Amino acid sequence: MNHGVMKLGIHEQGIVAEQQARQWLMGKGITNLQQLDWLFKSNNKYFCVECKSRELFEPPPFWGTGMDKSQLKLRSQLMADLGIDTVLLVYETGTKNIYWQMLSKLEDKDHFDTKNNIRIYNIDSFHKEISF
């Protein structure tokens, strides 16, 4: 009997468990936590995937997209410590456009930081595909 308590679905239970685990780990003094969207192996090498769904950043200086600098710092540390590069995968809202590129390559191309601490990369630095 649940005594008026709403029962969570399995997806919601997973979200609650992840939040609890984060709090538990931080309580143990572990502060460098990364919640990866995906991790995959290709040609005997692992890659992290950071997924975004957003509108493109409008010029000036260029059309682009990007990620929060705090996430960038953590993903760069993952690359430096373990050699795991990140694929930044962006679904442009309101379109079927998908943009993707390796974070290590994006960092070597045109980019700038917004006043809100978002690193924006030039959209021309991405591969573009159309979703089905």
Is the same domain home to 21 and 85? Answer: no
Residue 28: predicted pLDDT: 96
Number of domains in the chain: 2
Instruction: Name the DSSP letter for residue 57.
Output: B
pTM (2 d.p.)? 0.85
Is the same domain home to 95 and 45? Answer: yes
Give the model confidence (pLDDT) of 26-45 as tens digits. 999 998 888 899 999 999 99
Is the same domain home to 59 and 123? Answer: yes
Give the model confidence (pLDDT) of 91-125 as tens digits. 999 999 999 999 999 999 999 999 999 999 999 99
Give the domain range for residue 121. 36-130
- Residues 97 and 129: their CA atoms lie apart, in Å, by 6
- Residues 68 and 113: their CA atoms lie apart, in Å, by 9
Residue 63: predicted pLDDT: 97
Is the same domain home to 121 and 93? Answer: yes
